[in-house]
Amino acid sequence: MLEKIKAITAELENLNATTPEAVEQLRIKYLSKKGEISALMTDFRSVPAEMKRELGSKLNDLKNLATEKISALKDSLSAQADNSASDIDLTRTATPIPFGTRHPLSLVKNEMLSIFASMGFTIAEGPEIEDDWHVFSSLNFPADHPARDMQDTFFIARNPVDVLLRTHTSSVQTRVMEKTQPPIRIVCPGRVYRNEAISARAHCFFHQVEGLYIDKNVSFADLKQVLLQFARQMFGPETKIRLRPSYFPFTEPSAEMDISCDICGGKGCAFCKGTGWVEILGCGMVDPNVLRECGIDPEIYSGYAFGMGIERITNLKYKVKDLRLFSENDVRFLHEFDAAK
Ligand code: PHE
C-alpha cells in the first residue's frame, strides 16, 4: 500500500490539465467514490492494526494533496479565462454604423399629411390589391372605360371577379364611405400601380395622397380654400393657384389645379413651358352617383375630393428630373435629402 501511495503522490506532483473537462477527469480519477484514493481507503480497513497509524496519516496527506492540486488547477484555468475576457477594451469606440436617411417621398408625404392634419383631416389607408368595385364601379367608371383595360391596369385575376392593383387611392375613400356616415374628412396616402412603360417621366407604380370631405353644405368654395392653404404651406406663401375645368368619372364638376411656377415666379420659363403655371392635382365635387353607390344620401350630403401624386409634388419641390431615381435607392441620391428636413 505504501508503494501505491508513493506512486500516486508522484503523479499528483506532476498533475497538469489545460481544459476544465480534463480537470474534472482528474477529480474523478483520484477523488470520486470509485476513484483511486477511495479504493485505498477501502483497502485500509484490512491493514494490520500496528500499521494503521502510519498508513492512516499518509493516506490523509495523499487525499489533501489531491484536493489541493486539483483545486489549484481549476483556479489557474479560470484565471486564464478571466484574463482573456479582459483583452476586450470596453472603452474603445465602436465601429460606426452609417445612418440612412429618410426617403424624399416619405419626407414630402409626411409634410403633406401634416398640412392636411392641421386642417382637420385624418389618415385612412387600405389594401393595394383591390377588387373592381372599390377601384372602378363604385366610382362611376363606365364599363368600357379605358382604365379597365389591361393596358392601363395590372389585373391579378379576372374571374369570377376582377382583382387588380389599385390605380388610385380613391379606393380607400370608397372603403371609408361604405362603412361610415358623414361627416368624413380623410386623406389617403399610398402606393398605386399603372401599366406604364418605365421612363424618366413615368413609372409602373407611384404614390398618391387623395383627400375626401363629405358633410352637409360642402361647396366648391370650401375645396378651393383648402387647396389654396395646402399650396401656400407646401410651396410658400406667395404661391397662386388656378383651377381649370376637367373630367373624372367620380366628380362633377371636376377640375385640375395648377400652381404658379416657383422657378420663374409665374413669368414663364423652360420648367413651366413658358406658361407660368404647373399642374399639381385633380379635384372636384363628389358625383352623387358615387355617394349613392356607397350608401350616403346625396340629397342630404355633398362633398369634395382631390388627389395628387407625391412624386410630382416632390419633383416640384426638389427638381428631381428622373422618376426612376425614387425607386433605385442609390444612397448618393438619398443623402442629397439629408439636410432637406
Ligand atoms: N383619382 C384621381 C387620379 O388618380 C385623382 C382625383 C381624386 C381626381 C379625386 C379628382 C378627385 O388621377
User: What was the pLDDT predicted at 41?
Assistant: 85
Entry field: residues in the chain: 341
- The amino acid at residue 41 is M
Average pLDDT over residues 165-173: 97
Q: Binning pLDDT at 50, 70 and 90, where does residue 286 land?
A: very high
Residue 248 CB–ligand 1 contact under 6 Å: yes
Mutation test of ligand 1: which of 134, 169, 170, 206 has the most ligand atoms closer than 8 Å to its C-beta? 170
Mutation test of ligand 1: which of 136, 168, 224, 243 has the most ligand atoms closer than 8 Å to its C-beta? 168
Atom 2 of ligand 1, residue of closest alpha carbon: 307
User: What was the pLDDT predicted at 194?
Assistant: 96
Residue 307 CB–ligand 1 contact under 6 Å: yes
Highest mean pLDDT among 25-39, 61-75, 183-197, 259-273: 183-197
Question: Per the structure block, which three cell numbers stand in for 14?
Answer: 506532476
Give the chain's mean pLDDT: 91
Highest mean pLDDT among 35-49, 169-183, 258-272: 169-183
Q: What does the pLDDT look like over 80-97, one tens digit per residue?
A: 776 666 677 888 888 888
- CA triple 38-41-45, angle to 5 deg: 145
Which atom, in ligand 1's list, is nearest to the CA of 167? 4
User: What was the pLDDT predicted at 84?
Assistant: 65
- The answer on pLDDT for 341 being more than 50 is no
**80-94, 165-179, 220-234: least confidently modelled range:** 80-94
Cβ-Cβ contacts under 8 Å for 132 (sequence gap 6 or more)? 148, 161, 162, 163, 164
**175-184, 193-202, 224-233: least confidently modelled range:** 193-202
Which residue ranges make up each domain of the chain? 2-87, 104-340
Q: Phi/psi at 232 (nearest 5 deg)?
A: -70, -40
Residue 282 CB–ligand 1 contact under 6 Å: yes
Atom 7 of ligand 1, residue of closest alpha carbon: 307
In the reported structure, the alpha carbon of residue 86 is separated from the centroid of ligand 1 by a whole-number distance in angstroms of 65
Contacts 24+ apart (CB under 8 A), 44-51: 44/1, 47/1
Mutation test of ligand 1: which of 177, 210, 285, 310 has the most ligand atoms closer than 8 Å to its C-beta? 210
Four-way CATH pick for 104-340: 3.30.1490.190, 3.30.930.10, 3.40.50.1100, 3.90.79.10: 3.30.930.10
Q: How far is it, in rounded angstroms, from Cα 197 to Cα 319?
A: 22
Mutation test of ligand 1: which of 214, 250, 257 has the most ligand atoms closer than 8 Å to its C-beta? 250
In the reported structure, the alpha carbon of residue 307 is separated from the centroid of ligand 1 by a whole-number distance in angstroms of 4
Residue 283 CB–ligand 1 contact under 6 Å: yes
Q: Kindly give the residue spans of alpha helices, DSSP state H, lying in 128-195.
A: 132-135, 170-179
- The answer on pLDDT for 227 being more than 90 is yes
Q: What does the pLDDT look like over 292-322, one tens digit per residue?
A: 999 999 999 999 999 999 999 998 888 888 8
**77-91, 124-138, 185-199: least confidently modelled range:** 77-91
Residues 55, 45 contacting (CB under 8 angstroms) = no
Average pLDDT over residues 117-139: 97
Average pLDDT over residues 211-219: 98
Q: How far is it, in rounded angstroms, from Cα 262 to Cα 253?
A: 28
Three-class secondary structure assignment of 58-90: HHHHHHHHHHHHHHHHHHHHHHHHHHHHCCCCC
Residue 251 CB–ligand 1 contact under 6 Å: yes
Average pLDDT over residues 247-252: 96
Q: How far is it, in rounded angstroms, from Cα 195 to Cα 203?
A: 8
Atom 6 of ligand 1, residue of closest alpha carbon: 307
User: What was the pLDDT predicted at 52?
Assistant: 84
